[in-house]
Structure 1
Amino acid sequence: MSYLVEDAPARRRFEILVDDALAGFTAYRPRGADVLVFTHTEVDPEFRGKGVGEALIRGTLDEVRRRGARVVPRCPFMAAFIDRHPAYADLVTATEEQ
């Protein structure tokens, strides 16, 4: 299985493609130039239980870090991922204000 995580800014979400098929997304609201408020993550039922959700969040957070941006993890799935992977905790900002 090959994964590709891409930002789809027109849809305000990061998407994950698995073997070129859309398998899930994590939606966001931009706040200012460098904060993304993540509100919801969804993985297609066909891809659940295969690590696709974690690959999506990891790829998203890696891209956020590359951009020098920060996140507000309102999505429980993303928040739980960050709790389990403290190396990403520095990307979290407590405020939605920018």
Structure 2
Amino acid sequence: MSLDPEIRDNEDAKRYELDVDGETAVVIYNPVAGGRLITETLVPIPLEGRGIASRMAKHVLTDLKDKGLLILPTCPFFSSYLKKHPEYADQVHPTYRAMLGL
């Protein structure tokens, strides 16, 4: 899967960002050894229900795979997304994989 050209990794702010209709959706992370701890996904109310969070999740997962990094999901949305998409299980840190039942 290719990266979404509209989503950027703002490393200084430690978040992925997507601007849509004057609003910014974000996925917030903390860098950790060998991966990224995904702590929060925030989609502004005017953008809800448009698949923005899923679009960002796909991008983040692709980006981290390309970088050889594992995901450590503490964000409820990412945890739910990964349970619905077990094809990404190999990208989840083993401890979190067990916690999510992947």
TM-score range, shorter chain: 0.7 to 0.9
Quick check: which one's strand share is greater?
1
TM-score normalized by structure 2?
0.81
Two-structure CA RMSD over aligned residues (Å): 1.9
Question: What is the alpha-carbon distance in structure 2 between the residues aligned to residue 22 and residue 6 of structure 1?
Answer: 14
Question: Cα deviations across residues 17-52 of structure 1 (Å, max 9, x unaligned)?
Answer: 336x443111111112x2100111100111100001
- Residues 4 and 22 of structure 1, relative CA distance in 2, 3 Å threshold: farther
Aligned equivalent of 1:64: 64
TM-score normalized by structure 1?
0.84
Question: What is the alpha-carbon distance in structure 2 between the residues aligned to residue 68 and residue 22 of structure 1?
Answer: 30
Q: What amino acid is the match of 1:54?
A: S
Aligned equivalent of 1:27: 28
Which aligned runs of 4 or more in structure 1 are off by greater than 2 angstroms?
none
Displacement of 1:4 after TM fit? 1.6
Displacement of 1:82 after TM fit? 0.7
Q: What amino acid is the match of 2:18?
A: I
Question: What is the alpha-carbon distance in structure 2 between the residues aligned to residue 4 and residue 89 of structure 1?
Answer: 25
Runs of 5+ unmatched residues, structure 2 = 97-102
Question: Cα deviations across residues 30-87 of structure 1 (Å, max 9, x unaligned)?
Answer: 112x210011110011110000110011111110111111010000100111111111
Alignment partner of 1:41 is 2:41:
yes
Runs of 5+ unmatched residues, structure 1 = none
Farther-moved stretch of structure 1 (22-31 vs 75-84): 22-31
